[in-house]
């Protein structure tokens, strides 16, 4: 209804000017001599602007620069020739993939026969070396301590020997920095697989800091890896105690005794609505029978005495942001690393509710990969506190600190792995879910003191891994502040 014929002039609102912030185009000019010196290569990635800036920082820095390798370099590097592997079920020659150098406690990819036409001893790595992935994801480095010493690795791994042992940790820290890694990873070739060779390190500059600084960085790196070795020894001891208390024979023996043929029968009452053979493999029953004979009680992970909750986040579309604007996100491939490589950052603004509800992780939580490679198990250390794990990782929140370490040791053992992977389903991509994890059988020991010792050993190992991380971060800070960006 109109009460008046008075017309009002609407308030004038000027149009809002929308400014679109566009990323500037990255470009640079390249001299002909640069093209020739880089092997007459014309790919833009070889002359990456950020990489050129990184080189300039090193070459114009406070300390004189030399090349990583070469006559005046700090080290020498080499790879091994390709060879055809003869795989066997078990032998004295376990072989490891290059990607496992990042794992705190690497596991072998398989076993090769002594008849393999290669000098197997030449494939072993030595304590004090720096290892670098040179194919696929390149430039990932590790320091060879007691854990990796004398292990056999495939040919796709660069071995770096420093002329002065003090430079081993120094070189490791340099390649872990953003500047050092950026320079390294611009030396690529190949349209499909990125690859580097030993001679490429003759074109990678590195600042030569005073001996005292190099010695300090090396000392921190060596101490960091020593703590990782100690943590692995504690985990091994905890696992040994558990196996001894449960009188568990080797998995290979259980498999041998469980079934001679590749066929077996299953009672209808034991089907559990699963008709896939992998769920009913005899070795699983053999393991559970051992538990029942030697444990005080066999319960399940979903028992309230074992876990508060088992969390499987739902799938969602991720919004990534730059470092400093979101939570660190790690995936299943990274759960066995101390400082997960290739970290991404999930937007807090877009995912805050979901992060707080189901994505963030807490110290002492056991993580289990649920798809692709199933059954990788990790115990969340302190420096992962409030990081975000992807929805491809199941979280098992322990009922208390008194069970957290024991739960992890059991699930991470080869016996726990068999009980986890029995639930695998899927024809193309293997999967398990949180309901499966809740049903995993877990034995409680008759010897309560032994169970407590296992738990304490695991938690102590996790603490040492946090301390190892802190030492490495201190080494990287010195490298950045007192060497690369020193004024």
Task: Give the end-to-end CA distance of the chain in Å, rounded to a whole number.
Answer: 77
| Number of CB atoms found within 10 A of residue 449's CB | 8
Residue 231 buriedness (CB in 10 A; 0-12 / 13-18 / 19+): buried
Query: What phi and psi, each to the nearest 5 degrees, are found at residue 423?
Result: -85, 0
The pLDDT, as a whole number, for residue 42 is: 74
Q: Which 8-state DSSP code applies to residue 215?
A: H
Residue 83 buriedness (CB in 10 A; 0-12 / 13-18 / 19+): middle
**Could you tell me which residues come within 8 angstroms of residue 55 by beta carbon, excluding any fewer than 6 positions away?**
183, 205
Residue that the structure tokens 């024979």 belong to: 249
Collapse the DSSP code of 234 into the 3-class scheme (helix H, G, I; strand E, B; otherwise coil) and give the result. helix
Q: At what angle do helices 401-412 and 211-246 cross, to 10 degrees?
A: 90
The pLDDT, as a whole number, for residue 25 is: 59
Q: Which residues of the chain have pLDDT under 70?
A: 1-28, 38, 44-48, 187-194, 257-264, 273, 275-278, 280, 427-428
Q: Which helix (H) or strand (E) holds 152?
A: strand 152-153
The pLDDT, as a whole number, for residue 4 is: 56
- What distance in Å separates the CA atoms of residue 69 and residue 202, rounded to the nearest whole number? 5
DSSP string, 153-207: E-SSEEEEEESSTHHHHHHHHHHHSHHHHHHHTT--B-SSS-B--GGGGGG-EEE
């Amino acid at each position: 209804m109109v009460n008046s014929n008075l017309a009002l002039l609407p308030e004038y609102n000027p149009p809002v000017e929308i400014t679109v912030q566009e990323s500037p185009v990255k470009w640079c000019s390249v001299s002909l001599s640069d093209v020739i010196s880089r092997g007459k290569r014309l790919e833009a990635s070889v002359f990456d602007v950020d990489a050129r800036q990184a080189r300039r920082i090193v070459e114009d820095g406070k300390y004189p620069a030399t090349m990583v390798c070469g006559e005046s370099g700090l080290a020498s590097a080499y790879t091994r020739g390709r060879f055809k592997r003869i795989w066997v079920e078990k032998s004295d020659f376990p072989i490891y993939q290059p990607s496992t150098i990042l794992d705190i406690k690497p596991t072998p990819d398989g076993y090769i026969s002594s008849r393999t036409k290669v000098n197997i001893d030449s494939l072993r790595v030595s304590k004090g070396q720096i290892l670098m992935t040179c194919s696929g994801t390149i430039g990932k480095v590790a320091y060879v301590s007691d854990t990796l010493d004398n292990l056999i690795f495939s040919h796709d791994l660069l071995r770096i020997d420093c002329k002065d042992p003090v430079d081993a940790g120094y070189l490791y820290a340099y390649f872990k920095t953003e500047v050092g890694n950026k320079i390294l990873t611009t030396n690529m070739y190949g349209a499909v697989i990125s690859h580097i060779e030993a001679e490429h390190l003759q074109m990678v500059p590195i600042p030569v800091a005073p001996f005292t600084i190099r010695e300090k960085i090396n000392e921190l790196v060596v101490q960091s890896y020593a703590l990782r070795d100690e943590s692995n020894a504690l985990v091994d001891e905890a696992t040994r105690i558990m196996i001894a208390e449960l009188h568990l024979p080797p998995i290979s023996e259980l498999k041998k005794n469980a079934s001679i043929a590749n066929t077996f029968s299953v009672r209808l009452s034991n089907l559990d609505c699963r008709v896939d053979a992998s769920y009913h493999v005899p070795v699983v029953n053999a393991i559970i029978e051992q538990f029942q004979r030697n444990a005080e009680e066999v319960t399940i992970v979903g028992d309230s005495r074992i876990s508060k909750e088992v969390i499987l986040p739902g799938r969602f579309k991720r919004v990534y942001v730059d470092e400093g604007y979101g939570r660190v996100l790690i995936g299943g491939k990274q759960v066995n690393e101390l400082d997960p490589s290739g970290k991404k950052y999930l937007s807090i603004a877009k995912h805050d509710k979901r992060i707080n509800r189901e994505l963030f992780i807490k110290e002492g939580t056991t993580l289990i990969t649920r798809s692709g490679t199933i059954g990788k198990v990790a115990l969340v250390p302190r420096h992962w506190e409030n990081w975000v794990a992807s929805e491809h990782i199941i979280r098992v929140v322990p009922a208390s600190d008194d069970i957290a370490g024991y739960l992890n040791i059991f699930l991470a053992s080869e016996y726990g792995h068999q009980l986890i992977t029995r639930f695998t389903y899927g024809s193309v991509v293997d999967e398990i879910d949180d309901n499966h994890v809740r049903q995993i059988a877990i034995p409680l020991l008759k010897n309560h003191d032994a169970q407590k010792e296992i738990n304490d050993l695991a938690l102590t190992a996790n603490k040492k891994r946090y301390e190892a991380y802190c030492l490495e971060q201190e080494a990287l800070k010195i490298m950045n502040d007192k060497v690369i960006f020193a004024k």
